[in-house]
Each structure stands twice: as structure tokens, then as C-alpha cells.
Amino acid sequence: MRVVTRFAPAPTGRLHVGNMRTAIHNWLWAKKHGGRFILRLDDTDRERSREDHVEAIRADLAWLGLAPDEEHRQSARFDRYDAALERLKAAGRVYPAYETAQELDLKRKVQLGRGKPPVYDRAALSLTEAERATLEAEGRRPHWRFRLDHAAPIGWDDLVRGPQHFDPALLSDPVVRREDGSWLYMLPSALDDIELGVTHVVRGEDHVANTALQVQMFEALGAPAPAFAHEALLVGAEGKLSKRLGSLGVEALRAEGIEPAALVAKLARIGTSLPVEPFVEPGPLIETFDFATFGRAPARFDLAELAGLNARIVHLLPYEKVRARLPEGMSEADWLAVRPNLRTVAEAAEWWDILHGHVAAPPAADDAGFLREAAAAAAAVDWSADPWRQLVDLLKARTGRTGKALFHPLRGALTGRDSGPEMAVLLPLIGREEAIARLGG
């Protein structure tokens, strides 16, 4: 069996980190098994689905490096859903119901008031043809419910949660089509999974109850259910669901300088027993991806931890991978010199100015004479062979300074910073004439 997974966002908004995590896990599972990763756009909501959101989803996946092998749109498959509904009508597995939203809400309140679960009472099944005709003559249009088989217990072996069991008698017959003819999620999704050959459905644990309903839909449509993996939901650093987490998307993360590799590495492994590690390429993540490593506890997503991971990945990025994002003219030697001190690639521009611009850092009063001596020493050393070591040794001999008293004023005059990359690497890049000028010569 060739593994086929799908990521099925609704193009009613931008992707957030929870969506991205689901996409990453589906992509990793397909890649691990040499299978196919499908992007399915669940755009049945014609009013809220927007083409700019479709383009944004494609762009976000491309930025993450998750290239779909196929793309499908539910809006192009309405005829398939119509045909499936007719088959289920003929088999007695869907039926029309006429209650209004207000009537259903009242029923739920009454059931809850009596200490009963708010399960639909199937009153629509007892309507006669004449009663249906009367309701429709009054202007009511039916919504359609899938009729659960109460005699068939629902169960599956979840790849994350283990054996799952549901009593269908404790579940409401789900509405699959609204009064206005628009589709709800579950029946079109099940039919798509069948016809697109999806073998594994990977999604959040908030879909577990939906899966119980869909298991019977697969059976009613004459197909085996795919394997299911319901992963724990993300929570923020404070240990609860965060509004920011629910809206944090690629645009915001890119603005903060987050690398796609950092986000993939983070979301691939949080909530698992495997360590989050700084991988520039996804190969190790693909090789080690396994639902057996997933825990049941909510997965904690911490932006500060992501920023730390991002810095570690930036420190590994080769020049060719970032060249297009660096200041024009910045060489590989420049990049390798400043890379260990960067948190984001964008910060390289600041060090480019330090290396090749002009730094004017007024010295402390008691350092002015020392820096004049340093300028003279810089003019005397051999710049073809480790000028920093020669400069330091010469100044130690001439001034007697050591430690912080020696290094701090030199770094400040040469870079305008109190800390940064190794001066032995920076000084040759700054160059002889500029270094002498910065030291006050």
C-alpha cells in the first residue's frame, strides 16, 4: 500500500501554527514512506472562501518547503457529493429533517436540563409524507442528516491515541447538507478521502468525535476507513490555548526573522519523545518521524524557544542558502565571520555595515592614548598573517595592558560594539586602512 496523506485547509483565512504543524506531519509521513502528499482546498463555503487565501496557503506551504504532489478543490467536486448523497438516500442512510436552529437549540436545552446528553432525537424519522409536504408548503426546506447505525459499535486503532470506542447511540446523526444546499465538512471529506486514495488522515484531537461519525460514512459509501492519527493540540507557553497562537501565521513569523527550517524542526517534534534539534534540511526529520513517539499531553509551543532554535539554525546555514538575502557584495568570508553571532539572517546587514562601513566610536578619556598607540601598532604589523594576534602581542609589550583593559577598547573602536564575533576573524575583513582610521590613526 502506497501511503497517501492530505492537508485540507479551508481558504477562509491564513494558516496559523496549528495548521502548519498538521501540514508538516502529513508531509513527513508521506515522504518517509515514499508516498504522496495532497493539498485539498476545502472551499465549499462559497461566501467565506477567497482566492487570495488560496494563494496565501500555497505560498506558505512553499515557504515551509512542503510541495504538494497533487492539489484538489472541493468546489470542483460538487457533482460527486450530489451523487454520493443520492446513493445514501437510496440506501436509507440519510434522511431529511426540518427543525429550525431555534427548535434544535430548545431541544438541547431541555435535554441538558433533564441531565441527558444533547443527542438529536430523530424526530424527523417519524414524519409522514403528508407531514413533510405540509412543512415544505410552509416554506421549510430540509437539511439532511446521516443516519448512524446504532447496532454497529464504532472503533478504530488510532496511531496516536490507541484503541478508540464510541457508542453510536450516544451521538447525534450529523447534518451533512444544509437547508440552502451547502455542504458541511464530514461527508465531502470522507468521499474525497476514498476517491483520492488517502490512506492516512493526520489531524488534531479535536476531530476525534468527527472521526467516529466518518467511520460509519466510509462503511456506508462502501470503502474501508483510512488509518487515523489524532495529535494533541498546541498550547502556548503559559500552558493554555493562546489567542496569539491561534492567529500566529507565516507572515508574522517571517517578520520576526524565523527561518522555515526552524519552524519545521520545531513543529515536527514538539509533543513527541524526540528532541527538538536544529536541522537545516528535513532529511533527519523524515527518517525519524513516527507516530509512536507522540504523546497525549498538549504540545507546548514557546516563541522564545523557537527564537533560540532559529539562532542555532542560522549558525548552520551555508552561504549559498542565504546569499540572496544578504547585502549586495557580502562575501562568504563576511558571512562565516558574523554568522555565529546572529539570531536572524537579517542581522547580517548590521555587521555588513560594521565590516565595510565606517564606525565612529568616541573612546573613553583614559583610552584615547592607548588607541593612538594601537593605531600605530596596526600600521606596523604584517596584515598578511594573523594581524589581530600581532596587534595584541605588540600592544601588550608596549602598554602593559592585558585582559579587558586591552580587548574592550579595541573592540569598541573597531566595531562600535561591546561584543560580537571573534576579532581575529573580523580584523582582516575590516582591512588595514579602515582599522587604522577607526583606532584614531
Q: Which residues are CB-neighbours of 183 under 8 A, at least 6 positions away?
A: 44, 74, 78, 81, 176, 177
Give the Cα separation of 346 and 352 in Å (integer).
Answer: 11
Q: Which amino acid is at 209?
A: A
Give the Cα separation of 170 and 304 in Å (integer).
Answer: 43
Instruction: Give me the pLDDT at residue 240, please.
Output: 58
Instruction: Give me the pLDDT at residue 31, please.
Output: 98
Q: Which residues are CB-neighbours of 432 under 8 A, at least 6 positions away?
A: 378, 379, 383, 387
Instruction: Give me the pLDDT at residue 46, please.
Output: 84
Give the Cα separation of 333 and 341 in Å (integer).
Answer: 14
Q: What angle do CA 356, 357, 362 make, to 5 degrees?
A: 125
Are the C-beta atoms of 42 and 12 separated by less than 8 Å? no
Nearest to 119 by CA among 187, 155, 168, 185: 168
Question: How far lies 344's CA from each of 82, 83, 415, in Å?
Answer: 51, 53, 19
Nearest to 226 by CA among 203, 204, 197, 205: 197
Are the C-beta atoms of 411 and 397 separated by less than 8 Å? no
Which ranges of the chain have pLDDT less than 70? 238-247, 361-363, 441
Give the Cα separation of 433 and 375 in Å (integer).
Answer: 10
pLDDT (tens digit per residue) in 148-162: 999 999 999 999 999
- In this structure, the number of other CB atoms found within 10 A of the CB of residue 190 comes to 29
User: Which grid cell sits at 245?
Assistant: 497562537
DSSP 184: -
The half-sphere exposure of 264 on its side-chain side, counting CA atoms within 13 A, is: 25
User: Which grid cell sits at 343?
Assistant: 539570531
pLDDT (tens digit per residue) in 88-143: 999 999 999 999 999 999 999 999 999 999 999 999 999 999 999 999 999 999 99
- How buried is residue 143: exposed, middle or buried, by Cβ count under 10 Å (0-12/13-18/19+)? buried
Instruction: Give me the pLDDT at residue 248, please.
Output: 81
Q: Exposure string (b/e) for 209-244, b if CB count within 10 Å is 16 or more?
A: ebbbbbbbbbbbbeeebbbbbbbbebbbeeeeebee
To the nearest 10 degrees (0 to 180), the angle between helices 260-269 and 303-314 is: 130
User: Which grid cell sits at 79?
Assistant: 457533482
Give the Cα separation of 28 and 21 in Å (integer).
Answer: 10
* Kind of pairing between the strands at 94-97 and 143-146: antiparallel
Are the C-beta atoms of 262 and 234 separated by less than 8 Å? no
User: Which grid cell sits at 144?
Assistant: 439532511
Give the Cα separation of 215 and 225 in Å (integer).
Answer: 6
Are the C-beta atoms of 58 and 222 separated by less than 8 Å? no
The half-sphere exposure of 206 on its side-chain side, counting CA atoms within 13 A, is: 7
